């Protein structure tokens, strides 16, 4: 049988879920389980039923790709299936052999008995997609594990191990060994002892303490409620479990679920979920491409980035050799790594034994001979083409055949760097973000000659070191920084016409950004951005920039590191306070330009910020720098603090409507600095055709 196997062992029917990788409850699997239950109930020789998963999962939950589609309600729906199981006259035992998440845990709870592997992870992650467990989860879980624990699981979305739930009515047994055998044994005992089909719905909730937990939870999640409607609705559904009869509670849960399903926030979070998964697919690089083994890594340069990059590999058990030019620089770099790990030990997140192990995996050297055996070399030296040239020419001489030679450059032409070697096919960009051991994003910069297996191996490396890899073509700033440069320029120009830095930051933080642009600049270093701007002034002499950021830099206000930037900072503190000096400079610049300052509303700030990102994103798509619109979103969600409940800049654009955006951009182009508002041809085309970025696929994908 596709989706599930049906077998019998004596008087017990065994339905084995077979829908890899995680037995998601797509319509096919739902039908197969329902068929199995009905067949067992129609067979006089069968007296009990076991439902068991296969592989590492019992059941990973609903099939998210069905959400919002008609197939989600196709018969049997989850609701039909769980009612069928719960009402089965023959007792049903869930054998939770592994992961049971969301609909998977709901499936188990609709059964009458449950046996779980002690290590199995059980959870209700729906809230992370802006939803609630909509097929009985909010009604059955509080009955089976108590209101407090159920609220924690449902509102946090975090899984709990079966071992920790062993003492609750949720689990009749937890075992370390063979789960199907234990479930079969329980089913035989149920038959022998004529035990009843226990229904979770029949359990009465003790409401005396429940209200206090509900109230506490409401207070805890209220601050999030503006941007994330799901947690409060989860609490509302659990409250219904406490106050209402089971069937009424189910109805309330279902209507809240449907309400959430239609929110933009849930749509955005679901988009982000698929976008992250989709980013690993590279159209012209087949999934089965043979990968180059990466067993030893070398990092060139032990500065801000090099140390963090090395830590990523050490954390997954891969030995790293770090190469520097001087012993002093090497010692400095390695001691920063040590301090980083020491602080993790102090916080209790790393054991002293693991600390020793990690430090033993990292070695320093001043000699290229010591990195000749590396399978992957990542260069993180100064951002200077001449230094990169020397490093890559040397690497070409010493690196073993087949080694991947990667550059962490942020701005330089990767194809030029590759051309310094006689093996450009082995060269690729691995653009880490600061702090390199923390930031989730890794832009994989595919050069004109990068070999397909080098690209595929880089994507696999990203996954191995727990990053989200996104493919970018070669251009100035790649996907993320190229868009960021345009956004910064817009926000700085807004200062000239009437806004102030704190107002702009606040407007964008209210929109949901982790930090507004001026706070970001103070963190990243205004000197770094100044350096980039100076290059842009030369390369794009017709582009108009605000002079204000340069004036800030001329005063040595480089940001947090120098104790002053767009904001003032007290020594040793990160909290920013408004600088009257900076505000005066902003006003002086407007006067110097002969501009009468006007009130700039928060809505205009958000529009100018977002539409500048979106417009550059459209150019990036059209030029084939990004493979798909959702990749641009992933870059912003994982590397730039873009709010996940907005789905990324291009998803957000689709929710606003491209023709609305185009109309606003045309209005902006009639104002100050019109050159910045030339709409990208792709944006115009899609808007005119009434299409979205999600509709767009490139004419010829990838490179051949
Ligand atoms: N700092 C960031 O936020 C960031 C983010 C992404 C990418 N990058 C890129 O990463 C690279 C490194 O940046 P960083 O911020 O770590 O710089 P850094 O100045 O902190 O460190 C560079 C290190 O390289 C060493 N070095 C210089 N020449 C060398 C050589 N020939 N051989 C070996 N080591 C050499 C220096 O001694 C120094 O320790 C640059 O290409 C930069 O554009 C930086």
Q: What pLDDT digit, counting tens, does each position of 500-558 carry?
A: 999 999 999 999 999 999 999 999 899 989 998 998 899 888 888 999 999 999 999 99
Quick one: which atom of ligand 1 is closest to the CA of 391?
31
In this structure, the residue with its CA closest to atom 38 of ligand 1 is 303
Position 702 scores a pLDDT of 43
Q: Which among 322, 622, 627 has a CA at the least distance from the CA of 469?
A: 627
What is the rounded average pLDDT of the residues 649-665? 97
What is the rounded average pLDDT of the residues 172-187? 97
- For the stretch 439-451, pLDDT in tens is 999 999 999 999 9
What is the rounded average pLDDT of the residues 111-135? 97
Percent of the chain at pLDDT exceeding 70:
99
Cα angle 547, 553, 558 (rounded to 5 degrees) comes to 140
In this structure, the residue with its CA closest to atom 27 of ligand 1 is 381
Catalytic residue (choose from 106, 253, 265, 379) = 106
- Of 675 and 660, more confident: 660
- Residue 324 annotated as catalytic: no
Calpha distance 220→342 (Å, rounded): 32
Which residues touch 553 (CB under 8 Å, ≥6 apart)? 526, 527, 530
Pocket of ligand 1 (CB under 6 A): 300-306, 323-325, 329, 333, 380-383, 387, 390-391, 408-410, 432-434
In this structure, the residue with its CA closest to atom 25 of ligand 1 is 301
Q: Which among 305, 370, 386 is the best mutation to test ligand 1's pocket, defined by most ligand atoms within 8 Å of the CB?
A: 305
Measure 365 CA to ligand 1 centroid, in angstroms. Answer: 16
Give the 3-state secondary structure of residue 625.
coil
Q: What is the pTM of this model?
A: 0.93
Measure 298 CA to ligand 1 centroid, in angstroms. Answer: 14
Calpha distance 653→283 (Å, rounded): 25
C-alpha to C-alpha distances, 233 to 214, 225, 229, 240, 584, nearest whole angstrom: 12, 9, 7, 10, 47
* Secondary element (H or E) of residue 661: helix 658-668
Quick one: which atom of ligand 1 is closest to the CA of 303?
21
- Establish whether the linkage from the previous residue to 437 is cis, with ω within 30° of 0: no
Measure 433 CA to ligand 1 centroid, in angstroms. Answer: 12
What is the rounded average pLDDT of the residues 630-649? 97
Measure 326 CA to ligand 1 centroid, in angstroms. Answer: 14
Measure 304 CA to ligand 1 centroid, in angstroms. Answer: 7
Position 700 scores a pLDDT of 61
Quick one: which atom of ligand 1 is closest to the CA of 390?
31
C-alpha to C-alpha distances, 599 to 452, 520, 546, 602, 677, nearest whole angstrom: 52, 24, 18, 10, 20
Task: Report whether 248 contacts 256 (CB < 8 A).
Answer: no
What is the rounded average pLDDT of the residues 339-358? 96
Catalytic residue (choose from 66, 86, 126, 616) = 126
Measure 382 CA to ligand 1 centroid, in angstroms. Answer: 4
In this structure, the residue with its CA closest to atom 2 of ligand 1 is 434
Q: What is the phi/psi pair of residue 412, to 5°? A: -85, 160
Q: Which among 299, 303, 332 is the best mutation to test ligand 1's pocket, defined by most ligand atoms within 8 Å of the CB?
A: 303
Written as six digits, the tokens of 152 are: 């924690």
Measure 381 CA to ligand 1 centroid, in angstroms. Answer: 4
Q: What region does 446 belong to: left with phi over 0, alpha with psi -120 to 50, or beta?
A: beta
In this structure, the residue with its CA closest to atom 28 of ligand 1 is 381
Strands 121-123 vs 362-365: parallel, antiparallel or unpaired: unpaired
In this structure, the residue with its CA closest to atom 11 of ligand 1 is 380
Measure 399 CA to ligand 1 centroid, in angstroms. Answer: 20
- Residue 126 annotated as catalytic: yes
Position 65 scores a pLDDT of 86
Judged against a pLDDT cut of 80, whether residue 673 lies above it is answered with: no
Judged against a pLDDT cut of 60, whether residue 701 lies above it is answered with: no
In this structure, the residue with its CA closest to atom 12 of ligand 1 is 380
Position 280 scores a pLDDT of 96
Q: Which among 324, 333, 381, 467 is the best mutation to test ligand 1's pocket, defined by most ligand atoms within 8 Å of the CB?
A: 381
Judged against a pLDDT cut of 70, whether residue 197 lies above it is answered with: yes
3-state secondary structure 445-492: ECCCCCCHHHHHHHHHHHHHCCCEEEEECCCCCHHHHHHHHHHHHHHH
Q: For residue 1, name the pLDDT band (cuts at 50, 70, 90).
A: low
Q: For residue 704, name the pLDDT band (cuts at 50, 70, 90).
A: very low
- For the stretch 277-316, pLDDT in tens is 999 999 999 989 999 999 999 999 999 999 999 999 999 9
Q: Which among 299, 300, 301 is the best mutation to test ligand 1's pocket, defined by most ligand atoms within 8 Å of the CB?
A: 301
């Amino acid at each position: 049988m596709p989706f599930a196997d049906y077998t019998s062992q004596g008087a017990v029917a065994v339905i084995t879920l077979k829908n890899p990788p995680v037995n998601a409850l797509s319509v096919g699997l739902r039908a197969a389980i329902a068929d199995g239950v009905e067949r067992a109930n129609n067979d006089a020789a069968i007296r009990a039923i076991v439902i068991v998963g296969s592989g590492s999962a019992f059941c990973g939950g609903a099939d998210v790709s069905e959400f919002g589609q008609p197939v989600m309600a196709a018969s049997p729906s989850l609701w039909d299936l769980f009612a069928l199981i719960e009402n089965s006259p023959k007792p049903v035992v869930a054998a939770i052999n592994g992961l049971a998440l969301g609909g998977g845990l709901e499936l188990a709870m609709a059964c009458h008995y449950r046996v779980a592997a002690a290590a199995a992870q059980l959870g209700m992650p729906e809230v992370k997609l802006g939803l609630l467990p909509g097929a009985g989860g909010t009604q059955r879980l509080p009955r089976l594990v108590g209101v407090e624990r159920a609220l924690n699981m449902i509102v946090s979305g975090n899984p709990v191990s079966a071992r920790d739930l062993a003492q609750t009515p949720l689990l009749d047994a937890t075992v370390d060994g063979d789960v199907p055998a234990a479930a079969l044994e329980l089913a035989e005992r149920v038959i022998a002892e004529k035990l009843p089909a226990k229904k979770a719905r029949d359990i009465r909730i003790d409401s005396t303490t429940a209200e206090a937990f509900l109230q506490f939870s409401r207070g805890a999640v209220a601050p999030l409620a503006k941007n994330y409607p799901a947690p409060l609705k989860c609490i509302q559904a659990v409250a219904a479990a406490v106050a209402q009869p089971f069937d009424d509670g189910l109805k309330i849960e279902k209507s809240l679920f449907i309400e959430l399903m239609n929110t933009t926030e849930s749509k955005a979070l679901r988009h982000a979920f698929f976008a992250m998964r989709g980013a690993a697919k590279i159209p012209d690089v087949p999934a089965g491409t043979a990968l180059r083994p990466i067993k030893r890594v070398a990092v060139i340069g032990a500065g801000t980035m090099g140390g963090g990059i090395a830590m990523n590999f050490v954390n997954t058990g891969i030995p790293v050799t770090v190469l520097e030019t001087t012993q002093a620089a090497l010692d400095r770099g390695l001691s920063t790594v040590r301090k980083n790990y020491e602080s993790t030990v102090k916080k209790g997140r790393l054991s002293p034994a693991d600390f020793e192990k990690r430090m033993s995996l990292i070695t320093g050297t001043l000699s290229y001979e010591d990195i000749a055996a590396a399978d992957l070399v990542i260069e993180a030296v100064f951002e200077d083409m001449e230094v990169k040239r020397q490093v890559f020419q040397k690497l070409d001489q010493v690196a073993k055949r087949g080694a991947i030679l990667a550059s962490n450059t942020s701005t330089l032409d990767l194809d030029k760097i590759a051309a310094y070697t006689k093996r450009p096919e082995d060269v690729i960009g691995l653009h880490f973000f600061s702090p390199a051991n923390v930031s989730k994003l890794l832009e994989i910069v595919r050069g004109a000659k990068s070999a397909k297996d080098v690209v595929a191996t880089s994507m696999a490396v990203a996954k191995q070191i727990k990053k989200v890899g996104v493919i970018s073509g070669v251009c100035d700033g790649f996907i993320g920084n190229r868009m960021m440069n345009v956004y910064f320029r817009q926000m700085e120009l807004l200062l000239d016409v009437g806004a102030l830095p704190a107002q702009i930051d606040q407007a964008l933080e209210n929109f949901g950004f982790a930090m507004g642009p001026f706070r970001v600049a103070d963190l990243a270093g205004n000197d770094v951005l100044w350096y980039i701007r100076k290059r842009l002034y030369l390369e794009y002499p017709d582009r108009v920039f605000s002079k204000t950021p340069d004036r800030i830099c001329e005063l040595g206000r480089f940001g947090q590191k120098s104790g002053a930037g767009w904001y003032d900072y007290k020594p040793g503190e990160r909290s920013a306070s408004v600088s009257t000096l900076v505000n005066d400079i902003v006003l002086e610049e407007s006067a110097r330009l002969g501009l009468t300052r006007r009130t700039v509303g928060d809505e205009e700030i958000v529009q100018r910020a977002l539409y500048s990102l979106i417009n550059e994103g459209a150019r990036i798509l059209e030029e084939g720098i990004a493979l798909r619109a959702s990749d641009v979103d992933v870059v912003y969600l994982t590397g730039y603090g873009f709010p996940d409940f907005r789905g990324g800049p291009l998803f957000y654009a689709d929710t606003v409507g491209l023709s609305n955006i185009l109309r606003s951009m045309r209005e902006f182009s009639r104002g100050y600095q019109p050159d910045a508002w030339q709409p990208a041809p792709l944006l115009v085309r899609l808007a005119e055709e009434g299409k979205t970025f999600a509709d767009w696929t490139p004419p010829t994908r990838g490179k051949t």
